[in-house]
Amino acid sequence: MMRGERDEIPPGTLEMLILTTLATGPPRHGFEIAESILSVSEDVLQVEEGSLYPALQRMLLKGWIQGDWGKTDENRRARFYRLTAEGRRQLDREVDRYRRVARAIARVLATA
């Protein structure tokens, strides 16, 4: 681990990014998810793209996403992830929570 080289990502951010990515468009495999997240946020995955995979496993276990094996355009075997109903609810909850926290922080900063 390369600690201290950059700001720590708040826990759960990666999961939220994955949920957001999968919320729109067709099911995607790991590399596509990574690319999509990279285009949104350079920071999060810049250091270790590999950390995407344990996160995917965790979300599979929690039942937020589902992974089905299929073929890519180039006929390579890959696991395609898509959101489950539970995952969609989780995303809504996360977004709500984020907005609440953000508003609270904004208020705190405004009074400072």
**How much is the CA Rg of the chain, to the nearest whole Å?**
16
Distance of alpha carbon 23 from the chain centroid: 10
List % helix, strand, coil for the chain (3-state, nearest 5): 60, 15, 25
Report the residue from 10, 12, 25, 54 that binds other proteins according to the rule CB under 8 A. 54
93 belongs to the binding site for other proteins (CB under 8 A): no
Interface pick for other proteins out of 25, 40, 62, 100 (rule CB under 8 A): 62
Work out whether the CA dihedral 109, 9, 43, 83 comes out positive or negative.
negative
9/60 with CB nearer other proteins:
60
Instruction: Give the binding range for other proteins (CB under 8 A) out of 9-17, 19-27, 73-81, 97-105.
Output: 73-81
Tokens of 74: 């180039």
**Strand (E) positions, the chain?**
65-71, 77-83
Q: Which C-beta is closer to other proteins: that of 69 or that of 110? A: 69
By CB under 8 A, the count of residues binding other proteins is 24
- Please give the single-letter amino acid code of residue 86: E
Binding residues (CB under 8 A) for other proteins: these are 1, 29-31, 34, 46-51, 53-54, 57-58, 60-63, 69, 76-79
